[in-house]
């Protein structure tokens, strides 16, 4: 049965039950058109602070590892825990980690329901194109002697939200998130040109505590010309800008050429589309506020809210307007019935 047919069944009664497992890594060579290996994890009877699984063992996520070309097949809640560990600092407040877990679970659920697999063998990549994912070995190497305590905290956050997703009109949302705002989040239509009713600009004053709140990038006029294709004779002091509701650059006019703030950010690899431009001799200084696209939940904003005593539900409802936190049905397991076996 196609996953789309089950979209309306995502929201219903019943919660996943989380259990602790230790993964055994099994590399199974794939025989087919793509030269990849599948790395499938199977549970043992012992427990580890670093692993989570749910009782719906058929609901798993196949992650294409960008460096090795292997595919790791992991239970949903294990995937969620590792995404949280990879996407948000472990020393963030517990309620912020819970909000991140909820966003991560919602993102992958929506992605898989929509049958947006990257290949016949993999559902998602391990990069920012989907959600950053590091496996247990990588996290151990990264955290060293802090691994056990970090994963215990992250697993606590994942278990606290187990079986929950964020919905709008009974459907899993596009749970966009980013690092640091400029003090406001961005309307989805102002960055992606898609009007998404729950991804609207909201205040996020807590982000000023982020080390990524402000930054500068200096480029030469030649680099600017190469990136944008503009005439070097343009007087940059006469540059005209318009702003979005989220106080980011909407349009920039260089002479007779117009660019969106997103275009400038991506072409020059700026941290944010909130920037000012100042020319000094043969160089141009871009001063930015924020880090990331600005749409959805700000991670540093979430942490700031948690520090003021807000819980993960408060955080989610602030950044994802007019949404609900809903239980996933046990029928979600049916979404995985059409998984293709490894030949």
Q: What pLDDT, on a 0 to 100 scale, did the predictor assign at position 224?
A: 93
Listed as ranges, residues in the chain with pLDDT below 70 are: 1-58, 330-343
DSSP run (H or E) holding 85: helix 76-87
Helix (H) / strand (E) element for 276: namely strand 275-280
- In sequence order, the 6+-apart residues with CB closer than 8 A to the CB of 146 are 90
Q: Provide the token pair at 87.
A: 């996407």
CA dihedral sign, ordered 104, 191, 270, 319: negative
Residue holding tokens 């994963």?
A: 151
Residues in the chain: 343
How does pLDDT run across 114-128, given as a tens digit for each residue? 877 888 899 999 999
What's the token pair of residue 233?
């004779």
pLDDT at 20: 34
Widest Cα–Cα separation across the chain: 70
Partner residues linked to 63 by β-bridges: 72, 124
Contact between 81 and 147 (Cβ < 8 Å): no
Entry pTM = 0.80
CA 167 to chain centre: 16
Q: Report pLDDT for 248.
A: 98
pLDDT of residue 114: 82
Q: Which residue has the tokens 């990549």?
A: 125
What is residue 329's DSSP assignment? P
∠ Cα 160 92 299 (to 5°):
90
- Between CA 187 and CA 195 the distance in angstroms is 8
**Could you tell me the two tokens for 96?**
């912020």
Phi, psi dihedrals of residue 136, rounded to the nearest 5°: -60, -45
Q: Are 83 and 133 a contacting pair, CB within 8 Å?
A: yes
**What pLDDT sits at residue 87?**
98
């Amino acid at each position: 049965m196609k996953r789309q047919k089950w979209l309306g069944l995502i929201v219903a009664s019943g919660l996943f039950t989380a259990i602790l497992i230790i993964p055994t890594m099994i590399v199974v060579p794939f025989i087919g058109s793509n030269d990849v290996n599948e790395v499938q994890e199977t549970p043992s009877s012992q427990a580890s602070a670093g692993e989570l699984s749910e009782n719906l063992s058929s609901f798993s996520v196949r992650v294409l590892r960008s460096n090795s070309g292997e595919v790791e097949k992991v239970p949903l809640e294990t995937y969620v825990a590792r995404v949280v560990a990879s996407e948000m600092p472990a020393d963030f407040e517990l309620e912020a980690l819970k909000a991140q877990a909820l966003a991560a679970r919602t993102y992958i659920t929506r992605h898989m329901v929509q049958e947006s697999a990257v290949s016949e063998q993999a559902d998602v990549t391990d990069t920012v194109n989907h959600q950053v994912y590091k496996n247990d070995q990588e996290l151990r190497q990264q955290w060293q002697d802090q691994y056990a305590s970090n994963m215990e905290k992250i697993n606590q956050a994942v278990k606290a939200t187990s079986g929950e997703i964020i919905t709008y009109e009974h459907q899993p949302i596009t749970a966009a998130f980013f690092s640091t705002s400029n003090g406001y989040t961005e309307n989805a239509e102002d960055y992606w040109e898609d009007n998404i009713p729950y991804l609207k600009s909201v205040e996020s004053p807590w982000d000023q505590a982020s080390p990524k709140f402000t930054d500068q990038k200096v480029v030469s006029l030649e680099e600017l010309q190469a990136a944008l294709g503009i005439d070097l004779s343009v007087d940059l002091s006469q540059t005209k800008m318009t702003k979005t509701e989220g106080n980011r650059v909407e349009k920039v006019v260089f002479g007779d050429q117009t660019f969106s703030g997103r275009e400038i950010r991506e072409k020059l690899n700026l941290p944010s589309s909130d920037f000012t431009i100042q020319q000094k001799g043969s160089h141009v200084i871009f001063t930015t506020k924020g880090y990331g696209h600005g749409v959805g939940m700000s991670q540093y904003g979430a942490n700031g809210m948690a520090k003021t005593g807000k819980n993960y539900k408060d955080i989610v409802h602030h950044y994802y307007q007019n949404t609900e936190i809903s239980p996933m049905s046990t029928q979600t397991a049916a979404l995985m019935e059409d998984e293709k076996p490894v030949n």
